[in-house]
Every structure is written in structure tokens, then in C-alpha cells.
């Protein structure tokens, strides 16, 4: 490993020295925002609600199967920012949505 020390990172989980690029890929995968089915979500994706959700402060219920378009990821990997026709500033938990294919 002489001469290549700066290209490898010690993985405490496996106890092995791994290429820095591989460790970066693992970190990105671990921090990915996922829906209820484990699909990776990205800005601009459309999602479908997997259950009826009462929206706090509005008295409205979003029904299962409602499609939400153009989501935005937040700093919290368990929440997404959404727009809905009747609700401004809607934030949904990723456990209640599934990516629309």
C-alpha cells in the first residue's frame, strides 16, 4: 500500500482498507432518500400515497393513490417537500409514499 495511502480509506465496519471512491459510493447510497418500498427518490419525482393521510391544520384528508408531482428533497431523509393543489407547504414522510414509475 506504500504510495497509495491517500487513495484508500479504512472501513471500520468490515475492517478492510477500501478505495476512497468505493467508500464515497457507499456513503452516498446510505444517505439516499428512499420511499416506503426502498426506491431511491430524487428532486422532481412523482410519488403516490400508500395510505389515507389527515393533513394537520387543514381538516383535509389526502386519499390513498393520490399522485404528488415534482417533489423536493429536504435536509431530513425521512421527509419530502411537496405541492398539492389545495394544500400549500405540504411536507410528507417518505414512509407514506411510493415512487411512481
> SS3 of 30, please?
helix
What are the counts of helices (DSSP H) followed by strands (DSSP E) for the chain? 1, 10
What are the residues whose beta carbons fall under 8 Å from the beta carbon of 93, sequence distance 6 or more?
Answer: 78, 79
pLDDT at 100 over 50: yes
Residues near 2 by beta carbon (within 8 Å), at least 6 away in sequence: none
Mean pLDDT of the chain: 87
- Residue 35 neighbours by CB distance under 10 Å: 21
* pLDDT one-digit tens code per residue, 30-75: 778 999 999 999 999 999 999 999 988 888 999 999 999 999 999 9
Residue 9 has a CB neighbour count (10 Å cut-off) of 18
Indicate the pTM of the whole model: 0.70
Q: What is the pLDDT of residues 14-32, one digit of tens each?
A: 899 988 888 888 777 777 8
* Domains of the chain with CATH codes: 1-31 (no CATH), 47-99 (2.30.30.40)
What pLDDT score does 91 carry? 93
Amino acid at each position: 500500500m506504500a504510495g497509495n495511502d491517500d487513495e484508500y480509506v479504512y472501513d471500520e465496519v468490515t475492517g478492510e482498507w477500501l478505495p476512497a471512491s468505493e467508500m464515497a459510493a457507499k456513503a452516498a447510497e446510505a444517505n439516499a432518500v428512499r420511499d416506503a418500498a426502498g426506491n431511491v427518490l430524487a428532486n422532481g419525482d412523482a410519488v403516490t400515497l400508500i395510505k389515507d393521510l389527515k393533513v394537520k391544520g387543514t381538516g383535509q384528508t389526502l386519499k390513498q393513490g393520490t399522485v404528488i408531482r415534482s417533489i423536493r428533497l429536504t435536509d431530513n431523509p425521512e421527509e419530502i417537500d411537496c405541492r398539492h393543489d389545495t394544500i400549500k407547504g405540504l411536507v410528507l414522510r417518505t414512509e407514506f409514499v411510493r415512487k411512481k414509475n
